[in-house]
Structure 1
């Protein structure tokens, strides 16, 4: 279906033999992949032609793309603003009209955040639906998954169904769903919504208004739309997410240190990465297990919630794209990170939470779907008075991508999408 169409690969987790494989890190500035991974093999099998690579923050830890070795990735809607992250380069390439589709991945919102900031469609599929390996099978314990960024529901749905299916060896296997018609279903849905930040942070009036506009539209379409209290403890969940980030970073650098035959230092990586590395080394095996159990409890709760409604609507991000010069940390936090190696586990946990606090306030809604394994999509239905894109997010139960496609088609067919200017001027 995509025969001959060029696609850029994300410079993180989408490897092609002989191509650079930096993961956005200066430590791997000259590294090249010895193989083409299964996700990219599948892209090629459906006719896509990898051409070039897109930028990402170091190891994908940020919701802005500002890796030291690449510099800032800017937003085509406003070059003074960030394209987001971690699939910021992919989003910028699509939003600029260079490619209609780009490889992307999402471990905490890294497809949906840049989709929101750039006026694109960003689907994070159900855990276990996409090809994985051989360069990693669990992807942040199932939180991370590769897919793409697009500008049409047709391409989103076709990409999903032609890419769907993972290896038998993969630890996560998604429930199977049948191909559905491209036309929207006539089924009327029960749609719950919330604009409350799950971590208690400030939500912009624009993000709330984006959801309110969507509620009016959906109600007019005949859907049963109602407000609910945010269904999980977001603060507890995000702390468990940071524990995973730390533990996975420590394990990754343990392997890298062995390969390089030397200890890694603060000079080998960016300060945020160093902080996660040191935090991860302080975590016990039991605390890591507890964090994963927290994810499972949230997944159980959300599946129970989806017995009462079909979709869960929220802002995709709480704010539009930040200015390039926005400091998402502070000098005080950077000073703490520089000495985190000497701190206790509890002190390190506090430093890590503070390190992410400002960036989390930009995008507190996306992480839930990663940790529960459920599918979610950001749709480009709103722009601010400054003409900045701001997406809305729908979540569904595992395997229910078709409901996300249905609702996306309804907005698209009603001409409710606000796509980048590169597509409106054609």
Structure 2
């Protein structure tokens, strides 16, 4: 998928000392070095490109290479923003740079060059970050694993026989492999939190309407989708959110503006929180004992920090939510695919889209406007019930996913796979995350656990709508009490 490849001369491999900074520093650390003129944006860019080229063949996280675009950005001079000079990767899904490729993990969008630039990209670049590529995603972000007919299999840097998660698996693999300290990610059913859990990273899904998604459209999948990042440090997540949040022109809604910066919350006492602990999947599917124990260990850690933890299950009708979200997603996917196929003058088939996508398209075609309205009402009803539950709790603590990272191929749908069988495996794996996309609440996966076999285990904390600040205060407290920065994949 090379848009452009490394050059000799100016693009020669970076000195070892500069490349090592990608291991030693988070994004804010790199920006501080740039500000102090100890390293230049060009040197960091070439170090990141060199490392991407060295490690992508093993893990397959690069969907697009925008190296010439990045080099031109550096030559022009990066803005003096809070993250000036930090190399950055976008997810190759509905995020655009005018004139550059975005293919959405799909052969149907092969060769698609954007005609406009996303508002989020403008904000990222105003913060000084240097975009040099896009990361892999499953087709349209539909699965919890990053495996596609277009880009192939993205592998977990902790164990290449295991998945990196999805749909932001390419972003998580790139960060876990040490290419960048943070990368853009999106989440429509767990797609930030699931890869963060699989790859040992911090992953915050912001509140609905917090981060822009336009201008082509300002919400995705009926409001289920959100944009942000996967990061190694909590403070990077906060700083990136500061740089990108805020209502965009034409948006039908926006999260309330914070009273203070998100970065200012990092290191601040979260107070004594009342935490609802649940290790039972809303759907009743089994949960891996190691995921349960990691969550209970996180609960004990929270208690040791002075928080009150009570076992309490939020009132989630998993069957109702699953059916409603399927209607919203399938109808959206069908509309997008039909529009693209018509523009190309082609008929949708397995030569253009994958079996799972065709199933979504077929189902989406069978739904009506009434079905969509009813699904939207169901999701809203669940959100109201959950808000009532959280009148008594500040945070819900649960596993991020119901299993350890699965092996490659376990939840990729092939022409010979039964869709219902696939659905059962996928719903067991991603049993906890999706409902908070429906409710719009901020939710984060924190890399507090490790399995006996050496695989990361994330635990999930969810707060009331628009309370990212509370989550960031708690996350920073946990990061200080149980540091994970030194725990890295051996690449």
- 1:123 paired residue number: 204
Q: Secondary structure of 1:370's match?
A: helix
Determine the C-alpha separation between the residues in 2 that align with 1:327 and 1:111.
Answer: 17
- Pick which of 244-253 and 111-120 moved more: 244-253
Cα 1:62/1:181, change in 2 over 3 Å: closer
2:320 paired with 1:233: no
CA RMSD of aligned residues (A): 1.7
Q: Secondary structure of 2:310's match?
A: strand
TM-score by length of 1: 0.92
Contact persistence 1:42–1:131 (CA under 8 A): no
- Pick which of 13-22 and 46-55 moved more: 13-22
- 2:64 paired residue number: none
Q: 2:384 aligns with which of 286, 294, 300?
A: 300
Q: Which has the higher contact order (CA 8 A, sep 6+)?
A: 1
2:177 paired with 1:110: no
- 2:222 paired residue number: 141
Determine the C-alpha separation between the residues in 1 that align with 2:212 and 2:97.
Answer: 14
Q: 1:379 aligns with which of 446, 450, 468?
A: 446
Determine the C-alpha separation between the residues in 2 that align with 1:47 and 1:329.
Answer: 40
- 2:5 paired residue number: none
- 2:370 paired residue number: 286
Cα 1:74/1:419, change in 2 over 3 Å: farther
Q: Secondary structure of 1:394's match?
A: strand
Contact persistence 1:95–1:420 (CA under 8 A): no
- Pairing of 1:99-248 with structure 2 (within 5 A): 99-179=180-260, 180-248=264-332
- 1:367 paired residue number: 434
Q: Secondary structure of 1:215's match?
A: helix
Post-superposition shift, 1:273?
A: 0.3
Contact persistence 1:184–1:406 (CA under 8 A): yes
2:84 paired with 1:3: yes
Determine the C-alpha separation between the residues in 2 that align with 1:83 and 1:420.
Answer: 17
Post-superposition shift, 1:301?
A: 1.1
Q: 1:394 aligns with which of 448, 461, 465?
A: 461
2:104 paired with 1:23: yes
**Alignment gaps of 5+ in structure 1:** 335-350
Contact persistence 2:89–2:134 (CA under 8 A): yes
Post-superposition shift, 1:330?
A: 7.5
Q: 2:424 aligns with which of 357, 365, 385?
A: 357
Determine the C-alpha separation between the residues in 2 that align with 1:234 and 1:417.
Answer: 32
- Pick which of 386-395 and 130-139 moved more: 130-139
Contact persistence 2:212–2:247 (CA under 8 A): yes
Q: Secondary structure of 1:91's match?
A: helix
Post-superposition shift, 1:333?
A: 4.5
Contact persistence 2:198–2:404 (CA under 8 A): yes
Determine the C-alpha separation between the residues in 1 that align with 2:485 and 2:281.
Answer: 24
- 2:53 paired residue number: none
- 2:333 paired residue number: 249
Determine the C-alpha separation between the residues in 1 that align with 2:135 and 2:270.
Answer: 38
Determine the C-alpha separation between the residues in 2 that align with 1:395 and 1:19.
Answer: 36
- 2:173 paired residue number: 92
1:243-270 C-alpha deviation (Å, 9 max, x unpaired): 1121111211231133123432333210
Q: Secondary structure of 1:390's match?
A: strand
- Pick which of 175-184 and 193-202 moved more: 175-184
1:152-201 C-alpha deviation (Å, 9 max, x unpaired): 11101111122110214101211222224431315111011101011111
Contact persistence 2:108–2:341 (CA under 8 A): no
Post-superposition shift, 1:326?
A: 2.3
2:472 paired with 1:405: yes
Contact persistence 2:232–2:485 (CA under 8 A): no
Q: Secondary structure of 2:185's match?
A: strand
**Alignment gaps of 5+ in structure 2:** 1-81
Q: Secondary structure of 1:380's match?
A: strand
- Pairing of 1:326-341 with structure 2 (within 5 A): 326=410, 328-329=412-413, 333-334=417-418
Q: Secondary structure of 2:197's match?
A: helix
Contact persistence 2:355–2:414 (CA under 8 A): no
- 2:153 paired residue number: 72
Contact persistence 1:257–1:264 (CA under 8 A): yes
- 1:264 paired residue number: 348
- Pairing of 1:28-47 with structure 2 (within 5 A): 28-47=109-128
Determine the C-alpha separation between the residues in 2 that align with 1:34 and 1:330.
Answer: 33
Determine the C-alpha separation between the residues in 1 that align with 2:93 and 2:337.
Answer: 16
Determine the C-alpha separation between the residues in 1 that align with 2:102 and 2:356.
Answer: 20
- 2:13 paired residue number: none
